Amino acid sequence: MVHVTRIVIIGGGPGGYEAALVAAQLGAEVTVVDRDGLGGSAVLTDCVPSKTLIATAEVMTGFDSSHGELGITLACDSPERAISVDLGKVNRRVKRLAIAQSHDITQSVTRAGVTVLRGRGRLGTGGQAADGSREVLVDAVDGTTQSLRADAVLISTGAHPRELPDAAPDGERILTWTQVYDLDELPRELIVVGSGVTGAEFAGAYQALGSKVTLVSSRDRVLPGEDPDAAEVLEDVFRRRGMNVMGRTRAEGAKRVGDRVEVTLGDGTVITGTHCLMAVGSIPNTADMGLEEAGVKLNDWGQIKVDRVSRTSAPGVYAAGDCTGVFMLASVAAMQGRIAMYHALGDAVQPLNLKTVSSNVFTDPEIATVGYTAADVSCGKMDAVEVKLPLRGNPRAKMQGIRDGFVKLFCRPGTGIVVGGVVVAPRASELIHSISLAVDNNLTVEQVASAFTVYPSLSGSTAEAARQLHIRKRAETDS
């Protein structure tokens, strides 16, 4: 029997608002406490704004890289770029869209019967009461504090950009990814520090918009966490387009000197640009929330430890999203939040399965991934055979002038069950779905190969890779 009825959610990003919708649907009395606006950083500063900016960058790249080859000439004799971007206008669109989406989410959550409170939430010091409930305190901007009682609490407070001690952002020239949307003019020379997903996405986008970009990477290659073949393709494309990619180079500090920024590197070299974007990771929003006092255990990075149904170490307290550091994606945050509510409210619940998560790097080309990876195979975590098909052999790719990219599939050697895949292509985020379906449903390469694909289409390469794996798998099994 369901006995949990009062749910308080601290943080209204994807982890929080998706949980609120589920809890309301299951009949709970739900309150969401949020500091900055529903949708969270995902909608207001991170995911939605960056992808909106990248939408403009994509048009620029598509035009720049293929118009000549496709027979398009420009009625313009300027040797400079024939098309240019009004960054002020782009950024106003980015912010408008983000606010509209936050507004839409607030409306749908409110329509579902959820109470939304603006303020900073934290756990009360009293621990669990005799009836199992907990206190949540809400500090409003007017200085008042409200006390709420909850049968279950969800912490979904997200994370914020990490700053280097010697590179304090000033919001004008030295920037975090949340501050770039206040720029009115395109940075002429942009130094991006950090070559993880965020650094690579912004470096690629600003280069396409017209900035001269230097990407400072402390690792051997860009995107150290991604498929190595995919990262190699992207780094090659970046360099060909004129980006200065500095590998194995650590930035120690950044300072503003007049209208320029000086970035000091590990070996003492100083590089300069007009702007610097710091993309050096994020810090969970878990400080000063009464978590440890309430028995909620954190790891060394301050992230909340959770199990696969989003339970923390404190009874009745759940956590979801970036504050747990599990897999920092909006889709995973939302899934963790929903799972927490199914569990808290006694509904059927499937524990979180990270091996079916699909993710995408929104560069050009995009890099989409699902399931087990090349690293899992090489370290023996998964026994799988692989096939990689370059897109340059695909008829549709040839027609569209696409040269960079590939489809890679991994399957079990005996059964042929598809366990993972990587797509590097324009709109790989859309193409990965067929592989996601295969991984999620334990489909075999034979099943993937036997489904019709449109001719000509990029997805034809997925079916072709599956066909080749059928033969490779047979050869491996016979030997």
Give the residues lining the site for ligand FAD (CB under 6 A). 10-16, 33-36, 40-42, 46-47, 50-51, 120-121, 156-158, 177, 198, 285, 289, 321-322, 328-331, 333, 362
Q: What are phi and psi of 64, to 5 degrees?
A: -60, -45
CB nearer to ligand FAD: pick between 15 and 273: 15
Minimum distance from CB of 290 to ligand FAD (Å)?
10
CB of 33 to ligand FAD, least distance (A): 5
DSSP string, 439-468: HHTT-BHHHHHHS---SS-TTHHHHHHHHH
Residues shown for the chain: 479
Report the residue number, 210 or 321, with the smaller CB distance to ligand FAD. Answer: 321
Nearer to ligand FAD, 33 or 435 (CB): 33
CB 393, min distance to ligand FAD, A: 29
Q: Which is nearer to ligand FAD, 177 or 410 (CB)?
A: 177
CA atoms within 13 Å, Cβ hemisphere of 322:
22
Cβ distance to ligand FAD smaller for residue 42 or 167: 42
Least separation in angstroms between CB 211 and ligand FAD: 17
Give yes or no for a contact between 351 and 308, defined as CB atoms under 8 angstroms apart.
Answer: yes
Nearest approach, Cβ of 139 to ligand FAD (angstroms)?
Answer: 8
d(CA 409, CA 396): 20
Which C-beta is closer to ligand FAD: that of 196 or that of 210? 196
CB of 388 to ligand FAD, least distance (A): 25
Torsion of CA 459, 463, 464, 465, to 10 degrees: 100
Shortest approach of ligand FAD to residue 283 CB, angstroms? 11
Nearest to 443 by CA among 417, 477, 408, 469: 417
CB of 224 vs ligand FAD, minimal distance in Å: 17
CA distances from 133 to 3, 52, 124, 338 (A): 11, 42, 11, 20
Beta carbon nearer to ligand FAD, 90 or 289:
289
CB-nearer residue toward ligand FAD: 182 or 220: 182
Q: Which is nearer to ligand FAD, 18 or 404 (CB)?
A: 18
The Cα–Cα gap between 269 and 292 comes to 43
Q: Are 194 and 61 in contact (CB under 8 A)?
A: no
Shortest Å distance, C-beta 275 to ligand FAD? 16
Nearer to ligand FAD, 16 or 416 (CB): 16
Q: Let me know: does 53 contact 130? Beta carbons within 8 Å.
A: no
**Residues 360, 367 contacting (CB under 8 angstroms):** yes
- Tokens linked to 450: 């036997």
Nearest CB to ligand FAD, comparing residues 34 and 227: 34
Q: For ligand FAD, give the closer residue by CB, 145 or 442.
A: 145
Q: What is the DSSP letter of 75?
A: S
Full 3-state SS string of 27-74:
CCEEEEEECCCCCHHHHHCCHHHHHHHHHHHHHHHHHHHHCCCCCCCC
C-beta of 321: minimal distance to ligand FAD in Å? 2
Residues 465 and 470: their CA atoms lie apart, in Å, by 9
First-residue to last-residue Cα distance in the chain: 56
Least distance to ligand FAD, CB of residue 426, Å: 16
User: What letter would DSSP give residue 433?
Assistant: H
CA distances to 135, 288, 337, 473 from 298, rounded to whole Å, are 20, 13, 18, 44
- Closest separation in Å from C-beta 34 to ligand FAD: 5
- Give the number of other Cβ atoms within 10 Å of residue 244's Cβ: 15
Tokens of 12: 């209204």
